[in-house]
Amino acid sequence: MKIGFIGLGNMGAPMAANLVAAGHEVTGFDVAGVTVEGVEQASDAAQAAAGRDAVITMLPNGDILRDVYSEIVPAGQEGAVFIDCSTVDVDSARAAASLAEDAGLLPVDAPVSGGIGGASAGTLTFMAGGSDAAFAKAAPLFEIMGQKAVHCGAPGNGQAAKICNNMILGVTMVATCEAFALADKLGLDRQAMFDVVSTSSGYSWSMNAYCPAPGIGPQSPADNDYVPGFAADLMLKDLRLSQQAADSADAATPMGTRATAYYEAFVSDGGTGKDFSAVLPRLVAKHRDDAD
């Protein structure tokens, strides 16, 4: 396939490289002038999209997505699949999809899970929203860039799935960290805590696969001084998107609201550049300060 790829950052660059390695002809554009071996450089986003069978975008936010789609949709080839892998608000995803559909294109919103490591290894999970025809055309590319793609329904539903999933993740990580901090205060050994919770009703991905306590459970960022696997800033972005969606849908998300406020405080209080699980040492330090 002839593919245009717009947004060659930490995620987009390895995704584009995997498409090249699979034998596809990829033309790329990034405002920062990033180059990827094997990817032909376009002078602007519209040129990257012109005459392509598929166009993939990986962009920072909904406003930029809307701006880029206003440039690339008029240049799109009728029947081309437009796959947006950004994590943005649902309203922007649906607005971009509507613009593409009106132009005879096949839009798919397909945010990803798996991080930079998954992008490099081609093991991402895609949560996709769009028509059956659009998903079918995008599916072979998902197979190259990832290990799983779930068709979540109509345009915007991929973003809805990502936002709901990450709201759960933010809430459960805060709860997991609070439980470890409480266990410390109660004199409960962290390993014993993990051994019980990881096999009992309190188990979760935050505990079992991504334990925030160093030296406990499988290897995680906690074992590397909380160097980000998933940065606290990105968790905050996703939680804010969840609350924006909740406001738009008139949905009650009190725990999501509390988790958002918690990460806002964490990021503003030195959490920038740390993994989102680094709330645990912050809680422990806070308890020490309170004791003093």
List the catalytic residues: 162
- Gap between the Cα atoms of 150 and 217, Å rounded: 29
Give the residue from 151, 122, 115, 156 showing the smallest Cα distance to 135. Answer: 151
- Gap between the Cα atoms of 159 and 94, Å rounded: 9
Type of residue at 166 = N
CB atoms within 10 A of CB 116: 15
- Gap between the Cα atoms of 22 and 180, Å rounded: 45
CB 7 within 8 A of CB 86: yes
